[in-house]
Amino acid sequence: SAVISQKPSRDICQRGTSLTIQCQVDSQVTMMFWYRQQPGQSLTLIATANQGSEATYESGFVIDKFPISRPNLTFSTLTVSNMSPEDSSIYLCSVDKGNSGYTFGSGTRLTVV
């Protein structure tokens, strides 16, 4: 099964700044997914990242706010841009293991002050 290393694990950032979150997978995967978990909420899919093409964003999420890179089949980054306190959440990357479910990174707990 895939192992995902996600970093940073947590950060406290000033409003108006940007944070880039990295996910490294120990095997090649076609698609990587980025989720947001707001405090006390379930997970919401932000976007799907495919290698060699632009990410596909879900309704309510835009590339200018959450730019994503996918330079190869084992790595992706999500940037949270021009942050505000409303962006305080846990951000998780995930890969599809096929029918046996998805594997998640350990998450990045972001606090914007």
Minimum Å gap between C-beta 12 and another protein is 15
Minimum Å gap between C-beta 92 and another protein is 6
Q: Would you say 71 or 102 has its CB closer to another protein?
A: 102
Determine if 53 is a binding residue for another protein (CB under 8 A): no
Size of the site for another protein (CB under 8 A): 19
Minimum Å gap between C-beta 105 and another protein is 6
What DSSP string describes 39-67? TT--EEEEEEEETTSPPEEPTT--TTTS-
Q: Which residues of 79-106 are buried (b: 16+ CB within 10 A; e: fewer)?
A: ebbebeeebbbbbbbbbbeeeeeebbbe
> Residue 74 corresponds to which tokens in the numbers above?
């084992």
Determine if 92 is a binding residue for another protein (CB under 8 A): yes
Determine if 100 is a binding residue for another protein (CB under 8 A): yes
Residue with tokens 């947001």: 36
Residues in the chain: 113
- The amino acid occupying position 92 is L
What radius of gyration do the chain's Cα atoms show? 13
> Which of 60-68, 69-77, 79-87, 103-111 is the region at the interface with another protein (rule: CB under 8 A)?
103-111
Give the interface with another protein as residue ranges (CB under 8 A).
Answer: 6, 33, 41-43, 45, 92, 94, 97, 99-107, 109
